[in-house]
Every structure is written in C-alpha cells, then in structure tokens.
Amino acid sequence: MNVRYRVTLTQYERDELGTLLSGGRQSARKLKRAQILLAADAGVGDEEIAASVGVGGSTVYRTKRRFVEGNLEGALSEEPRPGAERKLTGKEEALLVATACSNPPRAAPAGRWTCSPARW
C-alpha cells in the first residue's frame, strides 16, 4: 500500500455525506465509509481513521481508492461479491420447501421421511 490516495470532497459531497450520517436508515458499512471519507477529507491519517471508525486499515485504503478512482457513490456502495452460483432455481426451491413441509407418505415408518424406499 505505497500509494497514498488524497481525498478532497466538494462542498456538495460533504453535504451529501452529512445528510447520510444525520438521518435515515442506512447500512453500517455505508455509514462507516461516509465517516472514512469525511475524516480523510479533514486530513486525518489512515491509522487514526481506522481506529476511530472501527475498521481495518485496508478498508480505509480501499474506500479512499474507490473515491479517487471513481466517484462518491462508488466509494459508498458495495462491490459485487464473488460466490457460488445458486444450485436451485426459484421453482425448484419452492418445490423442495413444499415437499419438506408436507406430510410424509402413509407407508413411511413412524411418520418420518426416509431416503430409501427399501426401508418402507
């Protein structure tokens, strides 16, 4: 992290961040990013920002980088997270839930579902 990103907010951006922090329901991550940007604009060091906001140094670095390379909205919003593809479609999931919540077949022992028909 040798690159230092200098955050310089316009008055409009400061007002937007102040409004964001002063009211409404926002995610904690978004509020912390707003606090990071306001503190960085005031000239506070990265380590001090991380300690006062309660985040890691890399979060401060990434937030400042996204602001300098992009814009205010890009710095405040979430980046897409990688993850596995969904295994079931909406219809398949609904069928699975309906099957699991339905009554077991009459032939099932002790009123329970079983995976093997040979055990019926």
What is the token pair recorded at 51?
């300690």
Please state the rounded mean pLDDT for residues 43-67: 93
Distance between CA atoms of residues 73 and 89, nearest Å: 32
- Is residue 50 one of the residues assigned to a domain? yes
The mean pLDDT of 72-101, rounded to a whole number, is: 88
Residue 83 resides in a domain: no
Q: What are phi and psi of 83, to 5 degrees?
A: -175, 170
Instruction: Give pLDDT, residue 120.
Output: 47
Domain-located, residue 33: yes
Position 80 scores a pLDDT of: 79
The number of folded domains in the chain is 1
Q: What is the pLDDT of residue 111?
A: 56
Answer yes or no: is 57 within a domain.
yes
Average pLDDT, the chain: 85
For residue 19, is it within any domain? yes
Within a domain: residue 115? no
* Residue 112 domain-assigned (yes or no): no
60: domain range? 11-76
Is residue 34's pLDDT more than 90?
A: yes
User: Has residue 17 got a pLDDT over 70?
Assistant: yes
Q: How many Å apart are CA 61 and CA 15, to the nearest integer?
A: 22
| Domain presence at residue 55 | yes
